[in-house]
Amino acid sequence: MEMEQRIISRVVFLWLFFGLFIVSPLNAIGTRELVGPAGHIKTGPFLDKLIIKRAFEGEESRIEALINNEIDAIDDAISLDFLAQLENAENVAIDYFLRNGYGYFAFNCMKYPLNHSSLRRAVAMALDKNKICEEAWDGLAEPLDSMVPKCNPWSIEEEMDYHYYESDLEASRELLQNEGFRDNDADGYRETPAGRDFHINIEVAESSTVAINAGEIVKEALDSLNINCTLNVTDFYRYLTRLYYGGDFDLCFVGNSFSSNDLTFLTEFEGESYDWEGMNRNFARWHNATYAEWTQQLMTSVDHDEICEAATRMQEIWIEQCPLLICYENMYASVYRTDRLTGFLSDADWGIMTKWNNLKVHLKESDGGPFGGTLRWATSHHPRWNPLRVCSCYPSQLDYQMYDSLFVQRPDGTGLPWMVKEYQVYTYEDDSSISENHTRYELTLLDNMTWSDGHHLTADDVAFTFNFYKNNLVVPQWHNLQNLSAIYAPNPTKLVLEFSTQSYWNLHKFSYLYVFPKHIVADMDPDELRMHYPDVGEEDWMQNWVTSGPFNLTDYDDGNFTELTYRPDYFFAPNHSLSTAEGDWLADNALVLSMVAASSAVVVVVLVYTVMRKGH
C-alpha cells in the first residue's frame, strides 16, 4: 500500500504539472490536445537496447531465427504460407491486422446502363462478400463497403445500419424489377429500362488468383440475377491503362492501398469532367453533385466536427451509390516471441512494426523486468540512417527511434501530440491579419526536450528543418510543404506556421515530419545533409551523430546489424532505477493512466486522497 501511495502521488504531481490530456474520439489528429502525464501511453522506453539484424537470406531464414529464439520479432508482414508453421511454434504469437486498403471492382458509371445506381446497388446486394473473403483469402479478410478502410479512424463502416456483406438475391431482384430491368422478351436475360439488351464484361488479372476467385463469385451473382455477363481473365496492365486514360470497360478488378489516414484522396473518386491526357484516378467516372458539395467542406474547413460531418456524409452517399463494388479488406500478419518480453501493441496500420513496441515492450518480472533487456528485430530493409535519403511509406525502425516529429500516430490510427504541449488553429475569420483562405498554426512545444549531445531541442530546430524541406526539391518531404508560406519561432517553445490554403489537412502535411538538429547541420549544403550518416571510422563518431529519439545509435556493422541504446534523458523516458514493483505497476497501468488523464483533476485528487486514507 505504501508503494502504491508513492506511485500514485508521483503520477498526480506529473499529471497536474503537465496538464490534462484529452483523448479524442474520431480524430485523425486530436483537436487542441494537451500533453499528458509521464506514466501514460507516451512513457518509454523500458528496454535498454534494440538490436536490428539484417543478416538473413530470405523470409524463411527469418522465420527459423524467430522460432529458434535468435530474434524476438520480425519487422515485416510475413507471408501467409508460414502461418501453420508459426501457429505450432512455442512462445510465438501472431498478430493479424487489416490492410489500409482493399480490393474492388470499378463500374463504368459513364456507360449505359451502369450509370444507373439501382443496377450497381442490385449487384452489390447480390454479391456474397463473405464468400470472397473465405474462398479467395482463406478467411484472412473482412468484407467492406466504404471506400475508407476499417482501420482508418475516419471510417463509418462499423456505424452503418446496413451492409452488402451477404447475398440478398430477393431484395436485389425486387429492386431490378421495380427499376425496369426485366426480361421482357423471355430470352433468359434482363433488358434495360429502355428495353435494350445489355451485357457486362467482367475483367480480372490473370496474374492474381484472388482476382480470379473474386471475379468468379461476381459472375455467380450476375448469373443469379439473369444478367448477361462474361468473365474475362486477362492482362492486368492492359485494362489498367484503359482505366487511367479513358478506354472502354464495364467492370474491372483493381485495388487501393494508402500510406496514411488522410482523406484528401476522396476528392479523386468523383468528377464531372476528366483530363484523359493525364492519369485519371476516378476509375468509375462517377459524378454526384451532393458528394461534390461535401468535398468542398472536407477540403476547406479547419474544424474537426465539420470534417467528421463531411467524411460521414460522403461515405453514406458513396455506399448508397456503389460506384465501386468494394469487396474486402484483407489481413496481414506480424510475429513476435512471448517468452521473455511482454507489452507488444498492435498498430492499426502496421501491426507490431511501429515505434510503440520499442517504447512499451518490457521484460517480464520473471526475467527481472520491467526495466532492461534487449529487443532483437529481424529486418529485410537496409538501414535508413537519414530520412532524407529514401522516400518510402514503409516504417523504419531506425527513423522511429532516432528522430522525433511534432505528432505521432497512436496504435488506433488517431494522432497524438508528441513534441507539442498545445496548439491552436486560426483563419481569417478568427484574425483579420491572416490572409483570406490561409491557415495559421500556433504551437507550444515541450520545454524539456534535448538532443543526444545535451543541446536543447527548440522551435528553432523545427523551423530550420521545415524550411529545408520546403526549399529542396530533391528531398522526399518537399511536396508536403509547398503551400507553407511562412514558418518562424518567436521563442524556444513557440512555433508559428502559415499555409496559403485553408484546410484541416495542412496539419497532416507537417505533423509527422522528422526534425533535425540545427546546430549540427545548419552549415551543411543540401547534398551534404542528404548524405549525412554515421561513419564508424571517425573518432568519437557516436558523439558526432546527434539525434533526439528515445534510442541512439551505439554500434553497427555495415548494415548487417544495428545496436541502439536507450537515452535516460529522453523527455518521456521512465526512471530505470525504480524498483521492480514500481516499474511493473507503471508498465501495466500505462493505458489505464492515459484514460484517467481524460477525467477531471478533481476526481484524480479525490481518488488519491481516498487511497491514502485507506492506507492509514
Burial of 533 (0-12, 13-18, 19+ CB in 10 A): exposed
Task: Return the pLDDT at 472.
Answer: 82
Task: Return the pLDDT at 380.
Answer: 79
Residue 522: pLDDT band by 50, 70, 90 thresholds?
confident
Domains of the chain as residue ranges with CATH: 101-331 (3.10.105.10), 404-548 (3.90.76.10)
Q: Name residue 100's amino acid.
A: N
Interval 175-200: pLDDT, tens: 999 999 999 999 999 999 999 999 99
| pTM of the predicted protein model | 0.84
Segment 283-296 mean pLDDT: 95
Task: Return the pLDDT at 590.
Answer: 47
To the nearest 10 degrees (0 to 180), the angle between helices 117-126 and 304-321 is 80
Rounded CA separation 399/281 (Å): 31
Nearby residues of 348 by Cβ (< 8 Å), 6 or more positions away: 97, 98, 100, 151, 152, 153, 411, 412, 413
Task: Return the pLDDT at 604.
Answer: 34
Of 356, 431, 429, 363, nearest in space to 576 by CA: 363
Residue 583: pLDDT band by 50, 70, 90 thresholds?
low
Strand 494-499 relative to strand 439-445, pairing: antiparallel
Segment 278-306 mean pLDDT: 91
Segment 528-548 mean pLDDT: 69
How far out from the chain centre does Cα 48 lie?
27
Interval 384-436: pLDDT, tens: 666 666 544 444 556 678 889 999 999 888 899 999 999 999 999 999 999 99
Residue 68: pLDDT band by 50, 70, 90 thresholds?
very high
Task: Return the pLDDT at 99.
Answer: 95
Mean pLDDT of the chain: 84
Residue 614: pLDDT band by 50, 70, 90 thresholds?
very low
* Phi, psi dihedral angles at 259 (to 5 degrees): -100, -5
Q: Is the pLDDT of residue 62 over 50?
A: yes
Segment 442-448 mean pLDDT: 97
Rounded CA separation 352/575 (Å): 25
Rounded CA separation 592/382 (Å): 37
Residue 302: pLDDT band by 50, 70, 90 thresholds?
very high
Q: Is the pLDDT of residue 600 over 50?
A: no
